């Protein structure tokens, strides 16, 4: 009986520990993202609110608008990445946004597979789709009501 209770105790402790870990993107810090994008000419806006901090990098041209938003409880407790791409031209939206969103998908975290993530984005850029790599769920939103926009979301599987 003691052994049974101990096993149940271990399952509960390990289960709750895994849930606590899964709420953040492992091995990722906000600077890994905003540092990378500001080096590419993006403009950074920080909001270091105690409840939910955000780091938002934007770049706009006459042809497109790109935004990478990072949300978390702190600089190393990242809960979500959201990348938005808007096509301002008459060109095919996929051709305008796929390189940017594909690049965002290559962000490195514990368990990431950048090549697989980038290819998945390119293959699914024109449809709503989701998949997981490691402990992270990737989702593409390709809303037919907004055919010139795409959103890529990356967040822990809960």
* SS3 letters across 52-72: CEEEEEEEECCCEEEEEEEEE
Q: What is the mean pLDDT of residues 12-16?
A: 39
Q: Which residues pair with 112 in a beta bridge?
A: none
CA 95 to chain centre: 21
* Length of the chain (residues): 158
Q: Where are the domains of the chain?
A: 25-156
pTM of the full predicted structure? 0.84
Residues 60/86, Cβ–Cβ less than 8 Å: no
- Taking the CA atoms of residue 46, residue 49, residue 53 and residue 56 in that order, the dihedral angle to the nearest 10 degrees is -30
Q: What is the pLDDT of residues 55-112, one digit of tens each?
A: 999 999 999 999 999 999 999 999 999 999 999 999 999 999 999 999 999 999 999 9
pLDDT tens per residue, range 33-59: 999 999 999 999 999 887 889 999 999
């Amino acid at each position: 009986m003691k052994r049974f209770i101990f096993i149940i105790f271990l399952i509960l402790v390990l289960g709750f520990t895994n849930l606590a870990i899964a709420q953040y993107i492992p091995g990722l810090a906000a600077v890994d993202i905003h540092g990378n994008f500001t080096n590419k000419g993006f403009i950074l806006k920080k909001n270091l609110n105690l409840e939910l901090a955000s780091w938002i990098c934007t770049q706009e041209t006459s042809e497109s608008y790109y935004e990478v938003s990072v949300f978390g409880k702190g600089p190393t407790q990242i809960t979500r990445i959201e990348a938005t791409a808007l096509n301002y031209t008459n060109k095919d939206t996929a051709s305008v946004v796929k390189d940017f969103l594909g690049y965002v998908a290559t962000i490195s975290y514990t368990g990431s597979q950048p090549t697989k993530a980038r290819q998945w984005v390119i293959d699914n850029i024109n449809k709503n789709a989701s998949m997981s790599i490691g402990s992270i769920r990737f989702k593409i939103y390709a809303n037919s009501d907004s055919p010139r926009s795409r959103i890529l979301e990356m967040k822990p599987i809960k």
